[in-house]
Amino acid sequence: MGFSQLTFREAKLDDLDKIVFMLADDMLGQKRERYTQPLLESYIEAFQSIDADPNIELIVACDQEEAVGVLQLTMTPFLTHQGGWRALIEGVRTALTHRGKGIGTMLIKRAIQHASDRGCHMIQLTTDKQRPDARRFYEKLGFEATHDGMKLQLPHE
C-alpha cells in the first residue's frame, strides 16, 4: 500500500495543523481555506466545538503517528424517516503524499461502519460538481446521487 502502519483515531488538537493543511491542499480548498501560521483562531474554535460534541467525530488516518487522511462524521436525529438518525460525511481529504493508496476508501468504510453501529439508517454526503473523480469514487463505494443538493451562502464577518 505504500505506508508502514495505518491506524484510525479521533483527531487531537495536535493534528489540527495537518488537517487544515490537507483541507487547503487542493484546487477548491485553496479558494476557501486559509492555511497560515499560526492557524486562524476560527479553526481552533471549530475544532473545540467538534471535539465537545458526542455526535460529531473528526476521524484521522495515521501513517505511524502522522495524520495523512481526515473526514468529519456528524450524526443527527431527524423527525423524518420515523425519527431516525442519519450521518453526514464532510471534509474528506488525503495528504498529497498518500493519495491513491486506498486511505480514502478505508476512511469512508470506517465512517459507514461507525454510523451503522450508532444506529443511523442513512449516511449522506455532498461532492462539488467540479470534482467528477470524487463522484466516481463515492459511487464505487455504493453512494447514489438520488437528490439535488442546494446551498445558500450566508453573509458573515
pLDDT in tens, 71-118: 999 999 999 999 999 999 999 999 999 999 999 999 999 999 999 999
Q: Would you say residue 44 has pLDDT above 50?
A: yes
Nearest by Cα to 91 from 60, 116, 62, 70: 70
Note the pTM of the prediction, 2 decimals: 0.91
For residue 8, is pLDDT > 90? Answer: yes
Q: Which helix (H) or strand (E) holds 62?
A: strand 56-63
What SS3 class is residue 8? strand
Q: Average per-residue pLDDT in the chain?
A: 93
Q: What b-and-e string marks burial along 86-105, b requiring 16 or more CB atoms within 10 Å of the CB?
A: bbbbeebbbbeebeebbbbe
Q: What is the pLDDT of residue 1?
A: 47
CATH architecture group of domain 11-140: 3-Layer(aba) Sandwich (3.40)
Q: CA angle at residue 132 from 2 to 116, to 5 degrees? A: 70
Structural domain spans, the chain: 11-140
